[in-house]
Homo-oligomer: A and B are copies of this chain.
């Protein structure tokens, strides 16, 4: 039998009624002849409640105990989903991560999947079971402790199962009906994409689009797992939602696939740093050690052997970054005049694999923003994306103007 993986997020299993609705969707696929592996998240709100308990109990918690606590929500929905399917006369049973066993490394709270043996579940499929319901987000370490894969980890669980079982497709049911050219909440012309390439989805996810966990897209790309994002709140046809797939499967596409944004960016500038070899390592090594996720970096031209170094990071890491820099200055390991922080910036990016072959995308982007009076503060580019840092008040304007200019509302 062909295997299909279906993943239901927290809002899709938030109540017993929603679990029933999800189970009906599963029943439809079983009726088509699939053996189905269902990956479930915890009921929405449950994991946050458990994380809250742990934070309140122990601010610097033992991550092994954190994992033991926060993984329990998924066990509840897995059992309830199996029972709901059984009520519909669909032969089903639940598996917790350790029962599969989904083997991970020992990096508690952000473990990486190492192996998913298929014998156990395939044997049950062989005995007539039609649906294996698996608790998402969790696994077991070589030491036999429960691990979790990090927030949003159920997406990654789903893709990993699809890869391990050679599934025909991995359907991610969520509270939106697909991947959009940009966020419909800030640009009303945003259009749902029927297909998007892995590379594009990966950039969009890491540049701020929240529809899929970045790691799940990486994994899907590596193992060529066809990934479909669709809504659990609507009746769905086989063509619903957005298919994330190999670029070869997309006949023709716009040069730019989408516009992403990230609101919580901060820009920091170290004024008058000695411009010497190794200076970048002297700054960004300690920042990495302090847990600061540096994104864009710009170094001004040098004057009198000194330069200004600018970088961006998430706003909630500013305090850590400032402390790390000031510590270096106090220790005499780094000399600079001043740190200037601007926590009022946003990142806007255009993404598209078509940019590889089409020239002039960057020029057009800069002109559009200039025409709107939006000053560009920092620029980074890759083969398939261009990102700019702008004052936060211009963010919506920039997204809308770019969406218009690249005619993303047209298929």
Contacts and interface: CB of A to CB of B under 8 A. Distances in A.
Q: Which 5 A-B pairs have the closest CB atoms?
A: A69-B79, A68-B79, A58-B83, A72-B72, A65-B79
B68 A75 contact: yes
Interface of A is mostly: helix
Nearest to A95: B68
A65 B83 contact: yes
Given A16-B53, A53-B76, 10 more contacts: A57-B80, A57-B84, A58-B84, A61-B83, A62-B86, A64-B93, A65-B79, A68-B82, A69-B83, A72-B75
Given A99-B144, A144-B99, A68 B57 contact: no
Given A16-B53, A79-B65, A86 B72 contact: no
Contact of A83 (B62, B87, B93): B62
A83 B63 CA distance: 10
A99 B64 CA distance: 13
Nearest to A50: B76
Nearest to A53: B80
Contacts of A62: 82-83, 86, 93
A98 B96 CA distance: 11
A56 interface: yes
A54 interface: yes
A66 interface: yes
Interface string A152-179: 0000000000000000000000000000
Contacts of A87: 57-58
A72 B75 CA distance: 7
A1 B76 CA distance: 38
